[in-house]
């Protein structure tokens, strides 16, 4: 901030020239008496808080939640809504962090249990570490909706996200980083996940995405997973990129990539309906197939490349397994 003062011959009703370079400072002129006031607007300071439980939870932008309370089973959680028919409304704003470290049990980041509940957040970070197991986000309640905005990240030393009971989740430029458990699990009829564009799932020791519309009310339709420009990178024995079970529809859009490194770690394993364009699948482990279809129809369009170092590029097994492929397969 620079202040240029006129000389003493200036008339009384002329004010000093104040050059403001900070958005948190304002100049107020009071009439013609030559009185200047500088107002310093208060800055929001991120706060640290403990576990949050209830049906209506609102957290300020940038706040940090640390799991310090146990659920009835004795496991620490970050955010939790009650079970039952009462909807929860959870608003985690922008840039909120949820950390849970359970040194002796099951670490739970965000657990949404009430029917018709909602969870909203943007640039959310959830980081959970459990001794026996862990889950970043679990959408348990029927018909729950989660909107995680842009740039959110889930980290876990076990499962990343589990969603079921005909619930929905949307996000874009979304990141899941986990080990031991599955990155993203989509269960039940009518459950859907849309990860928009530019999302990434990295898993060490298990499958990247599992989807199966195998339970619940079939009137709710197939389970669905949608993304474009998605990257899935998994390591480990039998760690599949995407495991698609019956009554499931997967649309990988354009320019998605699946990489696996592990014996029997297939890139895409499907009993459902899968479509993709300009898809890249690269698998390197022994007996690992690039795309293996056991049922349903998988359609892989132009500019797609399927590579398997020690297995089959494109494999079908079963009388109702169909692959429509117009790309390049290398074995």
- Residue 114's DSSP bridge partners are 84
pLDDT of 6 reads: 42
pLDDT of 17 reads: 38
52-63 confidence digits (pLDDT tens): 999 999 999 999
What residue segments make up the domains of the chain, in order of their start?
Answer: 48-325
163-218 confidence digits (pLDDT tens): 999 999 999 999 999 999 999 999 999 999 999 999 999 999 999 999 999 999 99
224-261 confidence digits (pLDDT tens): 999 999 999 999 999 999 999 999 999 999 999 999 99
pTM over 0.85: yes
268-282 confidence digits (pLDDT tens): 999 999 999 999 999
| 160-179 CB burial, b ≥16 within 10 A, e <16 | bbbbbbbbbbbbbbbbbbbb
84-122 confidence digits (pLDDT tens): 999 999 999 999 999 999 999 999 999 999 999 999 999
Q: What letter would DSSP give residue 84?
A: B
Structure tokens at 24: 């948190």
Q: What letter would DSSP give residue 7?
A: P
């Amino acid at each position: 901030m620079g202040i240029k003062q006129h000389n003493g011959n200036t008339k009384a009703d002329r004010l000093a020239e104040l050059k403001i370079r900070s958005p948190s400072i304002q100049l107020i002129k009071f009439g013609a008496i030559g009185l200047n006031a500088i107002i310093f607007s208060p800055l929001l300071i991120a706060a640290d808080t403990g576990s949050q439980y209830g049906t209506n939870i609102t957290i300020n932008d940038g706040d940090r939640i640390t799991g310090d309370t146990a659920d009835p089973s004795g496991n620490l959680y970050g955010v939790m809504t009650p079970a039952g028919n009462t909807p929860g409304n959870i608003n985690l704003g922008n840039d909120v962090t949820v950390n849970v470290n359970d040194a002796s049990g099951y670490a739970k980041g965000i657990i949404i249990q009430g029917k018709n509940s909602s969870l909203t957040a943007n640039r959310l970070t959830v980081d959970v570490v459990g001794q026996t197991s862990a889950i970043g986000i679990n959408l348990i309640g029927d018909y729950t909706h989660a909107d995680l905005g842009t740039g959110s990240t889930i980290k876990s030393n076990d499962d990343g996200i589990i969603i079921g009971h005909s619930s929905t989740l949307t996000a874009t430029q979304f990141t899941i980083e986990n080990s031991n458990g599955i990155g993203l699990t989509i269960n039940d009829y009518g459950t859907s996940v849309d990860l928009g564009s530019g999302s990434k799932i990295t898993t060490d020791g298990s499958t990247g995405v599992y989807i199966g519309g195998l339970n619940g009310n079939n009137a709710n339709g197939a389970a669905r997973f949608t993304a474009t420009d998605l990257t899935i990178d998994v390591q480990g024995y039998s760690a599949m990129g995407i495991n698609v079970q019956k009554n499931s529809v997967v649309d990988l859009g354009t320019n998605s990539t699946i990489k696996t490194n592990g014996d029997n770690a297939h890139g895409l394993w499907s009993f459902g309906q899968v479509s993709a364009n300009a898809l890249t699948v690269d698998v390197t482990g022994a007996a690992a197939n690039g795309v293996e279809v056991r049922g349903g129809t998988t359609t892989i369009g132009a500019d797609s490349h399927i590579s398997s170092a020690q297995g089959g590029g494109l494999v079908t097994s079963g009388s109702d397994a169909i692959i429509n492929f117009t790309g390049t397969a290398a074995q």
